Amino acid sequence: METTAAFAGLSCTDCGAAFDARASTADAATHRCPDCGGILDPEYDYDAVDLAREDLQARPFDGLWRYEELLPLPREAAVTMNEGTTPLVECPALADELGVARLLIKDEGHNPTGSFKDRGATLAVSAAAEHGASDVALPTAGNAGQAAAAYAARAGLDAHVFVPSRASFVTKAMINVHGGEMTVVEGRFADAADAYADAAESNDWYSVGSFVTPYRHEGKKTMYYEIAEQLDWAAPDRIVYPTGGGVGLVGMYKAARELRRLGFVDELPGMYAAQSAGCAPIVEAVEGGRSRHDPWETPDTICGGIEIPDPGASPLIVDAIAESDGGAVATPDEAILDAAITVAQHAGIEMGATCAAAASGAWELAERGEFDAGDTVVLVNTAAGNKEDDVLRSHLMGRGV
């Protein structure tokens, strides 16, 4: 695999073992830890990162690969559609309602397939291509499958996507349009994950599943580089993130620590996980003072994108929340859908139904007095509102509108 100068390989977040990331070498690793099965994370020699804030300011704001010195692969090896560099939109009316100085929405709906999953897909599919894979595969709630199918198509790879029947029409349709092989599994995300695991046993597929490949969360970290740069190299006081598997939260917190280490930003943001009350294993773990979650027994939320009852990376999520002095909050579906409509009507921004957990979560946190009047708060809108327009519209009609 062609790598960047500072990329030092992969380390296990469980046992700490280090591995070469070049698949051609004998001690190489490409996915989970060969020793213990733990999650692998890309490591860098930060002293070898040849990058200053001025370098970035001189570059066009033309996609996440502009941060290539802090990524494992160089831009020239990337399977890319210039994803990333999404707007950070000031929402003064919402800031007033929340009682904070600034409220901004990082609008990931602007990505090529309409969600932040493109950030993970560009890294993971690029790594797959570099590793000589012919087929990529994953279980997904929907958006990640659409992204994987698109990037696989661009790379000339076959994609095998397992989605639950409840996944949105848009994601299922577009997986087909991109030429992906789609298996629709009756039930919820866990059912799709089980069906994928069965099928993967007898197929030579390269997994691009979250926290199975080390590269998806690595791609997501770029959201934070952009947020910090868009705030003139300042950390927001709080980032509220709609949390299912937590890939983006873990990635962004890594990026925050990297920028502090590089001397680009002095502070760390408080990281907040926002979940639906119908599936809130992270909130339960944080409130119970535990370092990892217990699987949620009966997940039941309209927000399919964050209905992840057994998030394997929960220790990393809980750590990020604790270290950053953040928090976790769950709100009911009714409040989440109301918040999506409030944001659409007061700020114009189209939040996905799932993503609006960040907005309703922020309102709840504000009511609890978690925010200060001088705070800058960032909500992450992980996907475009039109991915789940049917859910939003039927909620609106349910209110008699």
Residues that bind Zn ion (CB under 5 A): 12, 14-15, 17, 33, 35-36, 38
User: At closest approach, how far in Å is the CB of 140 from Zn ion?
Assistant: 25
For residue 345, what are its two tokens? 């009507």
User: At closest approach, how far in Å is the CB of 37 from Zn ion?
Assistant: 7
User: At closest approach, how far in Å is the CB of 38 from Zn ion?
Assistant: 4
- The percent helix, strand, coil of the chain (3-state, each to 5) is 40, 20, 40
Q: What is the DSSP secondary-structure string of 220-261?
A: HTHHHHHHHHHTTS---SEEEEE-SS-HHHHHHHHHHHHHHH
**In terms of CB distance, is 34 or 332 closer to Zn ion?**
34
User: At closest approach, how far in Å is the CB of 216 from Zn ion?
Assistant: 18
Q: What is the DSSP secondary-structure string of 268-320?
A: -PEEEEEEETTB-HHHHHHHTT-SSPPPPSS---S-GGG--SS-TTHHHHHHH
User: At closest approach, how far in Å is the CB of 29 from Zn ion?
Assistant: 9
**In terms of CB distance, is 5 or 36 closer to Zn ion?**
36
**In terms of CB distance, is 26 or 58 closer to Zn ion?**
26
User: At closest approach, how far in Å is the CB of 16 from Zn ion?
Assistant: 7
**C-alpha span between 387 and 86 (Å, rounded):** 17
**In terms of CB distance, is 38 or 248 closer to Zn ion?**
38
**In terms of CB distance, is 38 or 309 closer to Zn ion?**
38
Interior/surface letters 98-133, b for 16+ CB within 10 angstroms, e for the rest: bebebbbbbbbbbbbbbbbbbbbbbbbbbbbbbbeb
**C-alpha span between 26 and 37 (Å, rounded):** 18
**In terms of CB distance, is 12 or 358 closer to Zn ion?**
12
